[in-house]
Amino acid sequence: MNHTRYPSADAAELYGVPYWSSGYFRVTEDGKIQVTPEPGLSATLQDVVDELVARGESLPLLLRFPQVLSGRVRQLSEAFRTAIREYGYAGSYQGVYPIKVNQRRMVVETIAEAGQTYATGLEAGSKAELALCLAQDLHPEALLCCNGFKDDGFVKLALWGRKMGKNVVITLEKLSELDRVLRVSKELGVRPAVGVRFKLHARGSGQWEESGGDQAKFGLNASELLQVVARLREEGMLDALVMLHCHIGSQITDIRRIKVAVREATQTYVNLVQGGVELKYLNVGGGLGVDYDGSKTTFYASMNYTLSEYASDVVYTIQEVCKKAEVKEPTIVSESGRALTAHHAVLVVPVIDVTGPTRQQPLTLEARPDQHQIVADLEGLLNDITLRNYREVYNDAVADKETLHNLFDLGYLSLHDRARGEAIFNSILQKVARLVQGLPYVPDELEDLPKVLADKYICNFSLFQSLPDNWAIQTLFPITPLARLNEKPTRQATLVDITCDSDGKIDKFIDLRDVKSTLLLHEPDGRPYYLGIFLMGAYQDVLGSAHNLFGRVNEAHVVALPGGKHRIELFVRGQKARKLIENMGYEEEMLRESIGQQVARAAAAGRLSPEEASELGETYSEELLGYTYLEEL
């Protein structure tokens, strides 16, 4: 099959790879996507997938790159170190990873290991997360921040962490938690380290803007903050208050909002210090964004600043306020989770079929002698389309198609004529779309034609399990073929998953100027065709649902080596059907017993031969232990 040659630079531009990848992915000259975690190290994603398929592993497949995670920890920490050196800042910086973003073992342990050099800590928002964090081997100075609402058990576990010698700070999310912390600490004989989340008036920008401001779910207002100070002073424990914590939301798109919030937080810090509180840490919270669409704007899927600009503005703003007030500059803490984890994971999904209106052949159904006039009218419109009349023809065709369906509903049109009429209508749309493609102005009623005519590429995955944020809050993720990027893509497409749900589709795609309703893909040619969905390392692992009982996918942990080689360090199999069924309250033994009884009755009634009964039982057992996604395609 002949393919139109396509420069790799054009493919990279089409899919926006240089803009959203932060340098971690690139398009090679032979049209493949490579991961590039460090200079001199690279791995071709298609080669990794081919190796796993040759080993008999199934897709969909999640590729994790631990070197990318480690690189993000270094980049963030070094960005702050650089800013601190440039401005002569008297304090230091310590990062904290909020594990709610992704609690998977590989993620947490990789970040903890990479953070040893920088005293990177962890943040827990529940007792289970705290139990996980306490077990990690962290730098002695690394913070272990306990956020979220707390009961006695949560506080006890945190205080035992301090007894172990860990730098555990209990963040007060509401005023009443102070009594609990004081009571439990006295019972255990442990002096706590306390932080306070303060509700800033400033708010973030983007989808999570409402999580900050005066009406935020967590945090104390100014009056409550002063009550905490007074109570601790009264208890002779004012030195236990070591951290002021502020947070204005996730994925903050506008750097100006960050600077305003940091200034307000620092003014609060200054007032507390001037009032006798010897705070050590100023925690500016999370919100460091990820540029999902590469546009570098304030659009909700982007951010108008770089990681270095973020660090510089935070350091400069805190220093400016502290110097003016002649107050000691604090240790800066940030809780960046999305920015650390998003880049390290790529979901690879195989295209298993293609459907759509352009796949229909109008002349496969021949006109019959008794063909209805409405079908003949549509055929006439198809033959008469020109640049002069395409708009009029389009509007006439839409009206005729409505009439076509009304006639069928009333019994005046045969199924054959309906099928032929619909096929001709689709051909009209395709012809109109080709005519207007190069025009400087496209009429409003024709703007949606590419989406209407787009092919549906059916992909073997579950949107609800693997990309819940795309379904729930319309988060955009970059999507790119893993190979054939040296061939010009010619098919406008949307993606659909294999769930029995009409919401299981992706029909919005990244673009530097807007949101696209279709994605350019290659015409199927009989070879396996894999799509990579990128920047999905944050939240998707932990928010996925078991809709249709599709479980977690297989995953491979991949290390890039010199010379474009790779090593698969670990392969983790996805969930089996049995596990998902048991999660719904069923027991495997009960299921097998029920099937066994029904098979026995069917065999006794002569509906199944002994051989068929045995084969049915074996098939049932195999599927209980099998991958939940489609196999042997």
Distance CA 428, CA 392 (A): 12
**Residue positions forming the annotated binding site:** 282-292
- Measured between alpha carbons, how far is residue 243 from residues 145, 280, 319, 330 in Å? 10, 6, 17, 9
- Give me the catalytic one of 133, 145, 146, 500: 500
Half-sphere exposure (Cβ direction) of 253: Cα atoms closer than 13 Å: 16
Closest CA to 22 of 260, 224, 282, 289: 289
Distance CA 375, CA 419 (A): 10
Rg (CA), the chain: 30
Strand pairing partners for 63? 346, 556
In SS3 terms, 100-168 reads as HHCCCHHHHHHHHHHCCCCCCEEEECCHHHHHHHHCCCCCCCCEEEECCCCCHHHHHHHHHHHHCCCEE
> Is residue 259 packed enough to be buried (19+ CB in 10 Å), middle (13-18) or exposed (0-12)?
middle
Distance CA 36, CA 67 (A): 9
Distance CA 41, CA 26 (A): 12
> What angle (nearest 5°) sits at the alpha carbon of residue 155, between those of residues 152 and 160?
120
**Residue positions forming the annotated binding site for substrate:** 282-292
Structure tokens at 443: 């009429």
Structure tokens at 174: 């509401």
Residues ≥6 apart with Cβ < 8 Å to 607: none
Handedness of CA 449, 453, 457, 461 (dihedral sign): positive
500 in catalytic set: yes
Structure tokens at 155: 């506080």
> Is residue 344 packed enough to be buried (19+ CB in 10 Å), middle (13-18) or exposed (0-12)?
buried
Q: Are 139 and 115 in contact (CB under 8 A)?
A: yes
> DSSP state, 520?
E
Concatenated DSSP letters of 303-345:
-SS-HHHHHHHHHHHHHHHHHHHT-PPPEEEE---HHHHGGGE
Q: Are 337 and 538 in contact (CB under 8 A)?
A: yes
Residues ≥6 apart with Cβ < 8 Å to 569: 66, 557, 558, 559
Sheet harboring 33-38: ordered strands across?
25-27, 33-38, 41-44
Element holding 225 (H helix, E strand): helix 222-234
Q: Are 235 and 182 in contact (CB under 8 A)?
A: yes
> DSSP state, 285?
-
Catalytic residues: 500
